[in-house]
Amino acid sequence: MVNAVIYVRPENYSASAARCLDYCTNRRYNVVGIIPGDWTAAMRMLELGSASVVVVSSVEQVEPRPGVEIAPKPSSRRKAGARSAANSARSRWSDNASPATEPAAARHYRY
């Protein structure tokens, strides 16, 4: 398992740390520390072998070098299956149902 240390700037701590933690979770990294604002400490952990990689939230925070990975911003696009599932549920009630016989639950699927 890869040991990772997360470096974040103190002014963006919560958002940056959350993004980096998600990145580490998705890559199955073992997070050995979160370092706010001390780049030399993060590099020292990398040099000593305490961590195999340093994860940062943006390229502006550091200069690119071996052992440093940048956690990408989360995508705002919806998953492909989410829309088709909603459309199929909506169309299930709108095929040939008249408003008088429509079940109350069907109103939930109308947008």
pLDDT 10s digits, 10-26: 888 888 899 999 999 99
Q: What is the pTM of this model?
A: 0.63
Backbone conformation region of residue 67, classed left if phi is above 0, alpha if psi is from -120 to 50, else beta: left
Residue spans of the domains in the chain: they are: 3-70, 80-109
Neighbouring CB atoms inside 10 A of 62's CB total 16
Burial of 29 (0-12, 13-18, 19+ CB in 10 A): buried
Confidence of residue 106 (pLDDT cuts 50, 70, 90): low
Report the amino acid identity of residue 15: A
89, pLDDT greater than 70: no
